Amino acid sequence: MDTRLLTTFTTLARTGGFTAAAAELHLAQSTVTVHIRTLEQDLGVRLFDRLPTGALLTDTGRRLLERAEDVLDAEARLRAACDDAGPVAGRVVVGSAESLCASRLPGVIAALRTSHPEVDVHLHAAGTAACVEGLRSGRLDLALLLEETEFPDVTGEPVAHEPLALVAAPQHPLAARGRAVTWAELAAESFFLLEEGCSYSDALARRLLDVPGGRPRLTRFGSVDAARNCVAAGLGLTLLPLTTVAEELSRGRLARVDGPSFPDVPVRLARHRRRWVAPAAREVAQALVRYLGN
Protein backbone atom coordinates (compact mmCIF):
# COMPACT_ATOMS: atom_id res chain seq x y z
CA MET A 1 0.00 0.00 0.00
CA ASP A 2 1.21 3.50 -0.84
CA THR A 3 1.75 5.20 2.50
CA ARG A 4 1.09 8.56 0.87
CA LEU A 5 -2.56 7.53 0.84
CA LEU A 6 -2.42 6.94 4.59
CA THR A 7 -0.80 10.34 5.10
CA THR A 8 -3.65 11.96 3.20
CA PHE A 9 -6.18 9.90 5.17
CA THR A 10 -4.80 10.90 8.58
CA THR A 11 -4.46 14.55 7.54
CA LEU A 12 -8.04 14.70 6.29
CA ALA A 13 -9.24 13.03 9.50
CA ARG A 14 -7.42 15.68 11.53
CA THR A 15 -8.40 18.75 9.51
CA GLY A 16 -11.94 17.66 8.66
CA GLY A 17 -11.90 19.26 5.23
CA PHE A 18 -10.48 18.53 1.78
CA THR A 19 -9.36 22.12 1.29
CA ALA A 20 -7.54 22.27 4.62
CA ALA A 21 -5.92 18.87 4.05
CA ALA A 22 -4.76 19.91 0.58
CA ALA A 23 -3.24 23.11 1.95
CA GLU A 24 -1.38 21.28 4.71
CA LEU A 25 -0.08 18.60 2.34
CA HIS A 26 0.72 21.09 -0.44
CA LEU A 27 -1.45 19.13 -2.86
CA ALA A 28 -4.28 20.03 -5.18
CA GLN A 29 -7.69 19.37 -3.64
CA SER A 30 -8.45 17.00 -6.51
CA THR A 31 -5.37 14.96 -5.56
CA VAL A 32 -6.61 14.61 -1.98
CA THR A 33 -9.95 13.41 -3.35
CA VAL A 34 -8.23 10.85 -5.57
CA HIS A 35 -6.06 9.60 -2.69
CA ILE A 36 -9.07 9.04 -0.44
CA ARG A 37 -11.11 7.39 -3.18
CA THR A 38 -8.17 5.09 -4.04
CA LEU A 39 -7.67 4.11 -0.41
CA GLU A 40 -11.37 3.38 0.05
CA GLN A 41 -11.34 1.21 -3.08
CA ASP A 42 -8.22 -0.65 -1.91
CA LEU A 43 -9.73 -1.37 1.50
CA GLY A 44 -13.25 -1.93 0.26
CA VAL A 45 -14.77 0.39 2.88
CA ARG A 46 -16.05 3.94 3.15
CA LEU A 47 -13.76 6.02 5.35
CA PHE A 48 -15.51 9.40 5.26
CA ASP A 49 -18.98 10.82 4.92
CA ARG A 50 -18.82 13.82 2.60
CA LEU A 51 -20.92 16.58 4.16
CA PRO A 52 -21.46 20.23 3.20
CA THR A 53 -19.50 21.17 6.32
CA GLY A 54 -16.55 18.89 5.54
CA ALA A 55 -15.42 15.28 5.77
CA LEU A 56 -16.56 13.22 8.76
CA LEU A 57 -14.95 9.89 9.64
CA THR A 58 -17.25 6.90 9.46
CA ASP A 59 -17.21 4.33 12.26
CA THR A 60 -14.90 2.21 10.12
CA GLY A 61 -12.67 5.22 9.46
CA ARG A 62 -12.35 5.89 13.17
CA ARG A 63 -11.36 2.29 13.82
CA LEU A 64 -8.72 2.39 11.08
CA LEU A 65 -7.26 5.79 11.99
CA GLU A 66 -5.09 4.50 14.84
CA ARG A 67 -3.84 1.63 12.69
CA ALA A 68 -2.94 4.05 9.90
CA GLU A 69 -1.01 6.21 12.36
CA ASP A 70 0.87 3.11 13.54
CA VAL A 71 1.90 2.32 9.94
CA LEU A 72 3.12 5.88 9.34
CA ASP A 73 4.96 5.79 12.66
CA ALA A 74 6.71 2.56 11.62
CA GLU A 75 7.65 4.09 8.28
CA ALA A 76 9.16 7.10 10.04
CA ARG A 77 11.21 4.79 12.27
CA LEU A 78 12.46 2.91 9.23
CA ARG A 79 13.53 6.07 7.45
CA ALA A 80 15.24 7.37 10.58
CA ALA A 81 17.21 4.12 10.90
CA CYS A 82 18.55 4.66 7.39
CA ASP A 83 19.65 8.20 8.28
CA ASP A 84 21.53 7.37 11.49
CA ALA A 85 24.88 8.14 9.92
CA GLY A 86 23.91 11.65 8.85
CA PRO A 87 23.19 14.82 10.83
CA VAL A 88 19.96 15.05 12.78
CA ALA A 89 17.43 16.80 10.57
CA GLY A 90 13.72 17.35 10.23
CA ARG A 91 10.74 19.52 11.08
CA VAL A 92 9.57 19.65 14.70
CA VAL A 93 6.33 21.39 15.70
CA VAL A 94 6.13 22.53 19.32
CA GLY A 95 2.91 23.75 20.92
CA SER A 96 3.19 26.15 23.81
CA ALA A 97 1.43 28.91 25.70
CA GLU A 98 1.83 32.25 23.97
CA SER A 99 3.74 33.65 26.95
CA LEU A 100 6.47 31.02 26.56
CA CYS A 101 6.57 31.48 22.79
CA ALA A 102 7.18 35.17 23.32
CA SER A 103 9.72 35.02 26.14
CA ARG A 104 11.52 31.72 26.70
CA LEU A 105 11.49 29.74 23.46
CA PRO A 106 13.26 32.12 21.03
CA GLY A 107 16.51 31.55 22.92
CA VAL A 108 16.09 27.78 22.71
CA ILE A 109 15.51 27.94 18.96
CA ALA A 110 18.53 30.17 18.50
CA ALA A 111 20.69 27.66 20.35
CA LEU A 112 19.32 24.78 18.27
CA ARG A 113 20.09 26.58 15.02
CA THR A 114 23.71 26.68 16.08
CA SER A 115 23.97 23.10 17.36
CA HIS A 116 21.58 21.43 14.86
CA PRO A 117 21.15 23.66 11.81
CA GLU A 118 19.21 20.95 9.94
CA VAL A 119 16.46 20.87 12.58
CA ASP A 120 13.58 23.18 11.67
CA VAL A 121 11.49 24.15 14.73
CA HIS A 122 8.00 25.57 14.31
CA LEU A 123 6.19 27.13 17.28
CA HIS A 124 2.42 26.96 17.62
CA ALA A 125 0.91 29.17 20.32
CA ALA A 126 -2.01 27.40 21.99
CA GLY A 127 -3.59 26.63 25.34
CA THR A 128 -3.44 23.29 27.13
CA ALA A 129 -6.52 21.76 25.49
CA ALA A 130 -5.36 22.66 21.98
CA CYS A 131 -1.83 21.38 22.68
CA VAL A 132 -3.12 18.04 23.96
CA GLU A 133 -5.38 17.68 20.93
CA GLY A 134 -2.42 18.55 18.69
CA LEU A 135 -0.35 15.78 20.29
CA ARG A 136 -3.21 13.31 19.87
CA SER A 137 -3.73 14.19 16.22
CA GLY A 138 -0.03 14.22 15.36
CA ARG A 139 -0.11 17.90 14.38
CA LEU A 140 2.32 18.60 17.24
CA ASP A 141 5.46 16.66 18.07
CA LEU A 142 5.99 18.20 21.50
CA ALA A 143 4.14 20.60 23.77
CA LEU A 144 4.87 22.72 26.80
CA LEU A 145 1.95 22.73 29.23
CA LEU A 146 1.55 25.31 31.97
CA GLU A 147 -0.33 23.11 34.45
CA GLU A 148 -0.21 19.77 36.22
CA THR A 149 -3.25 18.20 34.53
CA GLU A 150 -2.80 14.52 33.63
CA PHE A 151 -4.04 12.94 30.41
CA PRO A 152 -4.11 9.16 29.82
CA ASP A 153 -2.54 9.33 26.36
CA VAL A 154 -0.07 12.16 27.01
CA THR A 155 3.03 11.98 29.16
CA GLY A 156 4.77 15.00 30.62
CA GLU A 157 7.89 15.73 32.61
CA PRO A 158 8.44 18.87 34.70
CA VAL A 159 11.13 21.08 33.21
CA ALA A 160 10.70 24.48 34.88
CA HIS A 161 8.51 26.79 36.94
CA GLU A 162 7.31 30.21 35.83
CA PRO A 163 6.96 32.87 38.58
CA LEU A 164 3.94 35.13 38.07
CA ALA A 165 3.72 38.88 38.54
CA LEU A 166 0.63 41.00 39.22
CA VAL A 167 1.37 44.30 37.48
CA ALA A 168 -0.16 47.66 36.63
CA ALA A 169 1.03 50.99 35.26
CA PRO A 170 3.21 52.87 37.80
CA GLN A 171 0.55 55.59 38.10
CA HIS A 172 -2.24 53.11 38.86
CA PRO A 173 -3.64 53.70 42.38
CA LEU A 174 -3.01 50.10 43.46
CA ALA A 175 0.63 50.23 42.37
CA ALA A 176 1.44 52.97 44.85
CA ARG A 177 -0.25 51.44 47.89
CA GLY A 178 1.74 51.13 51.07
CA ARG A 179 0.06 47.81 51.94
CA ALA A 180 -1.01 44.69 50.12
CA VAL A 181 -4.30 45.00 48.25
CA THR A 182 -7.10 42.61 49.14
CA TRP A 183 -9.17 40.35 46.92
CA ALA A 184 -12.14 42.66 47.51
CA GLU A 185 -10.17 45.60 46.15
CA LEU A 186 -8.92 43.60 43.16
CA ALA A 187 -12.46 42.43 42.36
CA ALA A 188 -13.44 46.04 41.70
CA GLU A 189 -10.74 46.55 39.05
CA SER A 190 -10.31 45.97 35.31
CA PHE A 191 -8.08 43.08 34.27
CA PHE A 192 -6.53 42.22 30.93
CA LEU A 193 -5.91 38.48 30.92
CA LEU A 194 -4.83 35.89 28.40
CA GLU A 195 -7.51 33.93 26.59
CA GLU A 196 -9.47 31.07 28.13
CA GLY A 197 -7.39 27.93 28.39
CA CYS A 198 -4.49 29.78 30.06
CA SER A 199 -4.42 28.04 33.45
CA TYR A 200 -3.25 30.96 35.62
CA SER A 201 -5.52 33.49 33.88
CA ASP A 202 -8.50 31.17 34.30
CA ALA A 203 -7.65 30.62 37.98
CA LEU A 204 -7.41 34.38 38.62
CA ALA A 205 -10.68 35.05 36.79
CA ARG A 206 -12.48 32.42 38.87
CA ARG A 207 -11.07 33.84 42.11
CA LEU A 208 -12.10 37.39 41.23
CA LEU A 209 -15.62 36.33 40.23
CA ASP A 210 -16.01 34.40 43.51
CA VAL A 211 -15.50 37.54 45.63
CA PRO A 212 -18.88 38.44 47.21
CA GLY A 213 -20.15 41.66 45.65
CA GLY A 214 -17.16 41.89 43.34
CA ARG A 215 -17.63 43.15 39.82
CA PRO A 216 -14.29 42.77 38.04
CA ARG A 217 -14.12 43.79 34.41
CA LEU A 218 -12.31 40.99 32.59
CA THR A 219 -10.96 41.38 29.06
CA ARG A 220 -9.29 38.41 27.39
CA PHE A 221 -6.54 38.54 24.78
CA GLY A 222 -4.69 35.91 22.78
CA SER A 223 -1.51 37.97 22.96
CA VAL A 224 0.83 38.85 25.81
CA ASP A 225 1.73 42.09 24.01
CA ALA A 226 -1.90 43.20 23.85
CA ALA A 227 -2.54 42.58 27.55
CA ARG A 228 0.77 44.14 28.57
CA ASN A 229 0.27 47.28 26.46
CA CYS A 230 -3.25 47.89 27.77
CA VAL A 231 -1.95 47.68 31.32
CA ALA A 232 1.03 49.94 30.57
CA ALA A 233 -1.46 52.51 29.25
CA GLY A 234 -3.08 52.63 32.69
CA LEU A 235 -6.26 50.74 31.79
CA GLY A 236 -6.06 48.06 34.47
CA LEU A 237 -4.02 45.13 35.81
CA THR A 238 -2.76 41.82 34.52
CA LEU A 239 -1.16 38.63 35.78
CA LEU A 240 1.66 37.37 33.57
CA PRO A 241 4.83 35.30 33.85
CA LEU A 242 7.60 37.46 35.28
CA THR A 243 9.81 36.82 32.24
CA THR A 244 7.25 38.52 29.98
CA VAL A 245 7.18 41.76 32.00
CA ALA A 246 10.74 41.92 33.34
CA GLU A 247 11.90 44.45 30.75
CA GLU A 248 8.88 46.72 31.28
CA LEU A 249 9.42 46.58 35.03
CA SER A 250 13.08 47.55 34.69
CA ARG A 251 12.19 50.43 32.35
CA GLY A 252 9.45 51.70 34.63
CA ARG A 253 6.61 51.10 32.18
CA LEU A 254 5.02 48.65 34.60
CA ALA A 255 5.08 48.22 38.38
CA ARG A 256 4.35 45.19 40.54
CA VAL A 257 1.24 45.35 42.68
CA ASP A 258 1.62 44.12 46.25
CA GLY A 259 -1.26 41.72 46.72
CA PRO A 260 -2.16 38.05 47.13
CA SER A 261 0.58 35.57 46.39
CA PHE A 262 0.31 33.43 43.28
CA PRO A 263 2.03 30.05 43.01
CA ASP A 264 4.61 29.51 40.32
CA VAL A 265 3.21 27.87 37.21
CA PRO A 266 4.75 24.45 36.43
CA VAL A 267 6.07 23.95 32.91
CA ARG A 268 5.78 20.36 31.65
CA LEU A 269 7.23 18.96 28.46
CA ALA A 270 4.56 16.71 26.96
CA ARG A 271 4.44 14.15 24.17
CA HIS A 272 2.08 11.40 23.06
CA ARG A 273 2.62 8.16 24.99
CA ARG A 274 2.35 5.82 22.01
CA ARG A 275 3.84 7.86 19.21
CA TRP A 276 7.49 7.42 18.33
CA VAL A 277 9.70 10.47 18.90
CA ALA A 278 11.89 11.18 15.87
CA PRO A 279 15.58 12.05 16.39
CA ALA A 280 14.99 15.72 15.57
CA ALA A 281 12.18 15.89 18.13
CA ARG A 282 14.40 14.19 20.72
CA GLU A 283 17.07 16.85 20.21
CA VAL A 284 14.49 19.61 20.59
CA ALA A 285 13.13 17.97 23.74
CA GLN A 286 16.61 17.74 25.25
CA ALA A 287 17.27 21.39 24.41
CA LEU A 288 14.01 22.45 26.05
CA VAL A 289 14.87 20.56 29.22
CA ARG A 290 18.39 21.94 29.24
CA TYR A 291 17.59 25.62 28.62
CA LEU A 292 14.25 25.99 30.40
CA GLY A 293 15.58 24.28 33.50
CA ASN A 294 18.34 26.84 33.97
Which part of the chain has CATH 3.40.190.10?
90-162+266-292, 164-263
What is the predicted pLDDT for the residue at 81?
Answer: 64
> How many residues in total does the chain contain?
294
Residue 83 — pLDDT band, cuts 50, 70, 90? Answer: low
* Residue 276 scores a pLDDT above 80: no
pTM of model > 0.85: no
Expressed in percent and rounded to 5, the helix, strand and coil fractions of the chain are: 45, 20, 30
* Residue 84 scores a pLDDT above 80: no
Residue 86 — pLDDT band, cuts 50, 70, 90? Answer: low
CATH of domain 3-82: 1.10.10.10
Tell which wins on pLDDT, 3 or 197: 3
Whole-Å CA distances, 272 to 108, 153, 235, 264? 22, 6, 41, 25
User: pLDDT tens for residues 164-194?
Assistant: 999 999 999 999 777 899 999 999 999 999 8
Count of CB atoms within 10 A of residue 210's CB?
10
User: pLDDT tens for residues 112-157?
Assistant: 888 888 888 888 888 888 888 888 877 889 999 987 777 888 888 8
Per CATH, the architecture of 164-263 is what?
3-Layer(aba) Sandwich (3.40)
What is the predicted pLDDT for the residue at 293?
Answer: 74
Contact between 32 and 24 (Cβ < 8 Å): no
Which part of the chain has CATH 1.10.10.10?
3-82
Q: Under 8 Å CB-to-CB from 23, ≥6 apart: which residues?
A: none
* Residue 98 scores a pLDDT above 70: yes
Tell me the C-alpha distance between 274 and 285, whole Å: 16
What is the predicted pLDDT for the residue at 39?
Answer: 93
CA 239 to chain centre: 19
Tell me the C-alpha distance between 254 and 237, whole Å: 10
What is the predicted pLDDT for the residue at 52?
Answer: 86
What is the predicted pLDDT for the residue at 196?
Answer: 84
Longest dimension (CA), the chain: 75
Per CATH, the architecture of 90-162+266-292 is what?
3-Layer(aba) Sandwich (3.40)
* Residue 66 scores a pLDDT above 70: yes
What is the predicted pLDDT for the residue at 280?
Answer: 86
Residue 85 — pLDDT band, cuts 50, 70, 90? Answer: low
What is the predicted pLDDT for the residue at 129?
Answer: 84
The candidate with the shortest Cα–Cα distance to 278, out of 144, 131, 94, 132, is 94
What is the percent of the chain where pLDDT is above 90? 45
CA dihedral 50, 57, 124, 81 (to 10 degrees): -120
* Residue 250 scores a pLDDT above 90: yes
* Residue 162 scores a pLDDT above 70: yes
Q: Counting beta carbons within 10 angstroms of the beta carbon of residue 114, is it exposed (0 to 12), middle (13 to 18) or buried (19 or more)?
A: exposed
